[in-house]
Amino acid sequence: MAEKPTHVDSFRVQNDRQRNQTVSTTGCQPFVLPAAESDKLERIIEASPALKKGTHLFHQGDPFMSIFVVRAGTLKTYTVTNEGEEQITGFYFPGEVVALGGIGNDEHPVSAKTLETTTVLEYPYQPLDSLAGQIPNLRTQIVSCMGKEIRDEQQMMLLLSKKTAEQRVATFLYKLSVRFKQRGYSATLFRLSMSRNEISNYLGLAVETVSRIFTRFQKQQLIKVEGKEIEILSLERLYTVSGDEKQSPEQSVQYR
Amino acid sequence: MAEKPTHVDSFRVQNDRQRNQTVSTTGCQPFVLPAAESDKLERIIEASPALKKGTHLFHQGDPFMSIFVVRAGTLKTYTVTNEGEEQITGFYFPGEVVALGGIGNDEHPVSAKTLETTTVLEYPYQPLDSLAGQIPNLRTQIVSCMGKEIRDEQQMMLLLSKKTAEQRVATFLYKLSVRFKQRGYSATLFRLSMSRNEISNYLGLAVETVSRIFTRFQKQQLIKVEGKEIEILSLERLYTVSGDEKQSPEQSVQYR
DNA sequence: GACATGAAATGACCTCGGTGAATTGAATAA
DNA sequence: TTATTCAATTCACCGAGGTCATTTCATGTC
């Protein structure tokens, strides 16, 4: 393990906006507005300091006050079952919005924790919401984000209840690739910021299963694994294995 | 089977607002507003006729135009996997909002189908959204609904990746009970509008497993099953079995 | 360097719940 | 009434993936 964070824990943005200067949000905010309105928005945003690996942004049950956008680094969100084991509900990369599940609720339904050194932008929800009342464009973008979250979770439900272990891992890697590509990183060569344990937890599998499948995929020349470094050797085949490929209807009638 | 609908299919509200009279929405709309604003809202709503069992409200891939609120009856939403099998993503009862996953997307990410004769209210999204721009209260209620959908789906992810078959079925019945109670129906005696097949699909299990567990629960005097009629004999024990009960922290330190 | 520690990989074994087949039941139709 | 059909149940069997134990590897520490 890189750092030993254990209990730095729970950062709270303490008016650390230097010299009343608005925060630069270059290239990572999901809410894009024309200059004048963008100014208003930026005035309510607070930038976090660099948060060490293992820091909580918030805990499940904390009062819901803000949503967050990742600037750099990675977050996971998770719920805790009654037996105390965690269930990871999502990983969040730069540009992605965290804590939407708290909207309309008085408390956060999940915890959010950094997987590596991470910085975020905090959007205090009440000001954000009233801005959304003045700026239709912003309102639209917020509900769009929420809609996307809903759709992503539906995909995840499908994965968890219908896919085999192989399909889950393939889907995971494929979707990571797509997300990295969208953010301008390589689609085929990247570093997993989460542990095998976290991957398996997220996918509803045992660690051992993920391990075995990584090696199997490597033997099949699908990927190249070297610790946390992943190279995808064939995105096409990976996609095929993921089970998301829509096979042409012809295929099922092909009887001759 | 009650009717044989097969392909009544895909209803579209065709200006069936009788004599320009606004639709009565007694007791089933999730969006509650003071009189004046409520009027504005009601002017954009369209009421569906009674939809027979098996009717589609919309199909996955249809252009997203409206969200819906169930007035009477039951709906299911589902996605279709590439192999053509469906994955049910939710059941919706009177007062509940359907199609939130389409917001911010040009098409519906799921299909919605009636499980019995059902009526809905249609809220065309564009007018609804611009109203939301004028009525902060309405905006709040819409995003709250979406937030709740996100939280519900997170719970479902937890169920699908961590719970045993027994826990899933218990959770399903318990949550139904809570929802019925909220709507003013009996919490302990109700009729399942969905088939065993649909239950098992939703819960990520085989039909046979659901069947076995229903009989097991009955033997254990947890519930009384008679076809689609369910009587819950002990909500407390059902909740315990569901695995959602938070056991007091003391319990785990109780070593003497 | 040697040592310690936790993550990851590998293997042997086992179990929960899926599969397939057969039976029963309930609802509609003729 | 009987025939038909599809939902639901029950049983016997099996396999994907979990569990437990061991080994290997990587990283950090002294």
Q: Is residue B228's beta carbon less than 7 angstroms from any atom in nucleic acid strand D? A: yes
Chain A nearest-CA residue for B88: A158
Chain B residues inside the 8 Å CB shell of A88: none
The DSSP string of A200-237 is: HHHHTS-HHHHHHHHHHHHHTTSEEEETTEEEES-HHH
What is the per-residue pLDDT for A103?
A: 97
Taken in order A230, B161, A107, B179, the sign of the CA dihedral is positive
Helix (H, G, I), strand (E, B) or coil at B99: coil
Q: What's the rounded Cα separation, in Å, for the pair A211 and A226?
A: 12
Q: What positions of strand D are covered by protein, i.e. any atom < 7 Å from a CB?
A: 6-12, 16-21, 26-29
Q: Mark yes or no for CB contact B246/A87 under 8 Å.
A: no
Is A158 in contact with B84 (Cβ distance < 8 A)? no
Taking the C-alpha atoms of residue B61 and residue B205, their distance in angstroms, rounded to an integer, is 26
* Contact between A215 and B53 (Cβ < 8 Å): no
CA B90 to chain A, closest CA, distance in angstroms equals: 9
- Our CA-based measurement puts residue A246 at a distance from the nearest CA of chain B, in whole angstroms, of 5
Instruction: Provide the pLDDT for residue B245.
Output: 83
Instruction: State the nearest residue by CA to the C1' of D20.
Output: A208
Residue of chain B whose alpha carbon sits nearest to that of A202: B161
Torsional class of A250: left (φ above 0), alpha (ψ -120 to 50), beta (otherwise): alpha
Separation CA A97–CA B18 (nearest Å): 44
Would you call A160 and B158 a contact, using CB atoms and an 8 Å cutoff?
A: no
Given an 8 Å threshold on Cβ–Cβ distance, is A139 in contact with B129? Answer: yes
Residues in B closer than 8 angstroms to A157, CB to CB, are 87, 89, 153, 156-157, 160
Q: Alpha carbon of A38 to those of A43, A68, A98, A139: distances in Å?
A: 9, 17, 20, 13
Identity of the residue numbered A173? L
pTM of the complete model: 0.88
CB neighbours of residue B185 within 10 Å: 15
Q: With beta carbons under 8 A apart, name residues in chain B contacting A87.
A: 157-158, 161-162
Task: For residue B131, give Cα distances in angstroms to B24, B44, B45, B128, B211.
Answer: 19, 9, 12, 5, 47
| Distance from residue B180's CA to nucleotide D5's C1', rounded to whole Å | 32
pLDDT of res. A58:
96
Show the tokens assigned to A236: 């096409």
**B25 CB-contact burial (10 Å; exposed 0-12 / middle 13-18 / buried 19+):** middle
Tell me the C-alpha distance between A31 and A40, whole Å: 12
Decide if A83 contacts B164 (C-beta within 8 A).
no
Which DSSP state fits B208?
H
Dihedral class, residue B20 (left if φ above 0, else alpha if ψ from -120 to 50, else beta):
left
- Interior CA angle at B131 toward B125 and B133, to 5°? 110
**Digitized pLDDT (tens) for each residue of chain B, 256 residues in all:** 333 333 344 554 444 444 344 444 444 457 888 988 999 999 999 999 999 999 999 999 999 999 999 999 999 999 998 888 899 999 999 999 999 999 999 999 999 999 999 999 999 999 999 999 999 999 999 999 999 999 999 999 999 999 999 999 999 999 999 999 998 999 999 999 999 999 999 999 999 999 999 999 999 999 999 999 999 999 999 999 999 987 655 443 332 2
B143 and A147 in contact by Cβ < 8 A?
no
Return d(Cα A150, Cα A156) in angstroms, integer.
10
Distance of alpha carbon B73 from alpha carbon B36, whole angstroms: 29
Find the CB nearest B139 among A139, A144, A247.
A139
Which candidate from A83, A103, A162 shows the least CB-CB separation from B81?
A162
Per-residue pLDDT of chain A (256 residues; tens, 9 = 90+): 333 333 344 554 444 444 344 444 444 457 888 988 999 999 999 999 999 999 999 999 999 999 999 999 999 999 998 888 899 999 999 999 999 999 999 999 999 999 999 999 999 999 999 999 999 999 999 999 999 999 999 999 999 999 999 999 999 999 999 999 998 999 999 999 999 999 999 999 999 999 999 999 999 999 999 999 999 999 999 999 999 987 655 443 332 2
Q: Note whether B140 contacts A244, CB cutoff 8 Å.
A: no
